[in-house]
Amino acid sequence: MRNYLIFLIAAFGLFACEETLEPEFEPKLVVNAELKTGQRIDSVFISWTAKITDPYDTEAQRASGAIVKINGVQLAEYGDAPGVYFLDDPNFIVQSGQSYDLEVIAGEERVASSTTVPAPFSFLAEGVQEGDTVQFTPGSSWFSPAFFTLTWYNYPGAPLYRIISDADSANEQTYIEDDRDEANVFKGDKEDRTDPAIWWASDNFTRINWMFFNYTGWHNVVVSAMDENYYRYRSGLNFSQFNGQNFNQIIQNGYGIFSSSSSDTIRVFLVE
């Protein structure tokens, strides 16, 4: 009986050890690329995953020497930026309504994805014109008065719209100091108020107010109609989060995002 109990204890310990064994880590490819209407294909980032317990070095994880193709045309790799690929053909311009197929081969790994570029996009600017000076007025919430409004009611539709406010000069001299409680609640701490500021909308308009600006000076305010891939990638996230939750759904056999967009831009000069 005593020997039988010892056997059971030993067997239980063996099974317990087997249950806690971690699966062997297998590196996978990660894609980060966005095709933009009217522009050349550029900045296709290809990287390798890293083991979660190992230090992560962005440069070291880049997949240099990969075969990267879009619609069967092979991309070149930047000599001074390993793992970053571009199409060296000035006549190959991304077209609205077109579909693009991505294929990446590195080592024994192969990943693929496809995107269809949204229709040509443009907005109407209400309360502002190109090159206008805009007065910054601190607000207290998302519903604070708008500096101006951008609308696109006649657009055929996209699952999601991205709004970027990009300052020409984002530095200590142009930073908008605002340590009010309202600013800390809605914009976060100073280190969280990055440039460019990025927000999202699902409606056919966006009210541009104090939430969109952290710096004074010249800004490009860009609204982009995003494709289905981008919408799926971000699905389920709060609007203050940048990284996608569905990082494993867009790239076949890999991770990341391959998306496309159509955009319109207005340029304004912000003053306090």
How many beta carbons lie within 10 A of that of residue 193, not counting itself? Answer: 17
Residue 141 lies in a domain: yes
Question: Tell me, what's the pLDDT at 8?
Answer: 41
Domain holding 219, by residue range, is 124-242+261-271
- 134 and 111 within one domain: no
Residue 226 lies in a domain: yes
Domain end point (choices 72, 92, 116): 116
Domain end point (choices 116, 143, 173): 116
CA–CA separation, 226 vs 34, rounded Å? 10
CATH number, position 43? 2.60.40
- 221 and 92 within one domain: no
- Which residues of the chain carry a pLDDT beneath 70? 1-22, 236-248
CATH number, position 137? 2.60.40.10
Residue 110 lies in a domain: yes
Strand 44-48 and strand 67-70: the pairing is unpaired
- 202 and 128 within one domain: yes
Residue 106's nearest CA partner among 148, 55, 56, 47 is 47
Residue 35 contacts residue 260 (beta carbons within 8 Å): yes
Q: Domain tally for the chain?
A: 2
- 167 and 79 within one domain: no
Residue 254 contacts residue 49 (beta carbons within 8 Å): no
Residue 167 lies in a domain: yes
224-258 pLDDT tens trace: 999 999 999 887 554 445 555 566 689 999 999 99
- 233 and 150 within one domain: yes
- 136 and 217 within one domain: yes
Question: Tell me, what's the pLDDT at 7?
Answer: 42
